[in-house]
């Protein structure tokens, strides 16, 4: 898995070339909403990308992570189906329902049934390289989702420019990223992590949580500010020495939210928690998000090493899929 994490910026760079070489049909449809449907490692890209373009897009974006589709899907919907394997049963069910509703379909996949559907129906699609665990394909899937949405006019030239420069930026900072990842792993070993971000960066916190779940075989949770200041903060009424709160911060976090983070952190420290802060000091939210994600990815595989476990193994998910296939 470490080799796959190491390849992250290279995957992004290759994805940019794949997007450049892809042939997509233009659309004259005036879309009224976008639905991005995907789960797990195939779905996290939708969560993160939708948040990173939220400040400039003028139609609602819904990230769908279940069977079926929202009722708002109709002939004015751009429906993006994202399944790395192409065989995610929830996503396949959703895309069939979206087709029945007359939505415009676009697909992100490496193969499977979803690719067959795209080719048979002449839908726009991007075919990613296969053979990876879906969570390790994030460099491909998120980059290509940006470019796919850009094809329909929903991503600005500045965002695409920032995206294109991200692989080089990660390369420039790779040693500090690895160092920060290892430092975080050592602080989380034997503890219970909780990740906090500004609400606009929640997808990054979710990525941390999911990577620890799958790579480190570790439970954790996340929350966002200011929301957690209206509920979870009260839960810090007792000493919590076993919990490590990790604040993931960016230069563009709202100034009042930054003050809330400082207050929350001080309270947690007073409750014996060993707080960690990781900052991404970049003007671009794209750069900040991918920088933070890279640190989290490295931390998750370093934790697996510390625990002496196989970061790649996800047998329990395979067991569940096998059971469901017999129903």
**Catalytically active residues, by annotation:** 214, 230, 321
Rounded Cα–Cα distance for residues 17 and 164 (Å): 10
Rounded Cα–Cα distance for residues 92 and 80 (Å): 11
Pairing type for strands 192-198 and 221-225 reads: parallel
- To which residue do tokens 């563009």 refer? 252
Tokens of 14: 């290759």
């Amino acid at each position: 898995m470490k080799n796959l994490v190491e390849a992250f910026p290279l995957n992004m760079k290759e994805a940019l070339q794949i997007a450049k070489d892809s042939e997509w049909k233009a659309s004259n449809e005036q879309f009224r909403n976008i639905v991005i449907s995907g789960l797990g490692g195939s779905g996290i890209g939708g969560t993160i990308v939708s948040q990173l373009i939220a400040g400039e897009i003028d139609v609602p974006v819904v990230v769908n992570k279940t069977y079926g589709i929202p009722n708002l899907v109709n002939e004015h919907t751009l429906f993006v189906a994202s399944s790395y394997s192409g065989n995610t049963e929830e996503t396949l069910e959703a895309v069939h329902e979206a087709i029945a509703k007359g939505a415009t379909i676009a697909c992100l996949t490496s193969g499977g049934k979803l690719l067959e559907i795209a080719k048979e129906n002449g839908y726009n699609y991007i075919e990613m390289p296969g053979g990876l665990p879906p969570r390790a394909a994030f460099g491909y899937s998120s980059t290509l989702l940006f470019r796919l949405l850009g094809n329909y006019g929903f991503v600005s030239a500045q965002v695409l420019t920032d995206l294109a420069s991200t692989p080089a930026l990660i390369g420039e900072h790779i040693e500090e990223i690895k160092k920060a990842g290892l430092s975080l792993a050592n602080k989380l070993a034997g503890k219970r992590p909780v990740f906090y971000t500004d609400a606009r960066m929640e997808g990054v916190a979710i990525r941390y949580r999911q990577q620890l779940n799958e790579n480190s075989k570790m439970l954790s949770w996340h929350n966002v500010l200011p929301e957690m200041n209206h509920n979870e903060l009260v839960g810090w009424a007792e000493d919590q020495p076993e919990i490590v709160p990790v604040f993931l911060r960016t230069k563009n976090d709202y100034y009042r939210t930054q003050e809330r983070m400082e207050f929350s952190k001080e309270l947690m420290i007073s409750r014996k928690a060993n707080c960690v802060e990781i900052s991404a000091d970049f003007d671009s939210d794209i750069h900040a998000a991918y920088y933070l994600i890279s640190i989290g990815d490295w931390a998750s595989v370093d934790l697996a090493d510390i625990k002496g476990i196989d970061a790649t193994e996800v047998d329990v998910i395979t067991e569940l899929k096998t059971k469901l296939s017999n129903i």
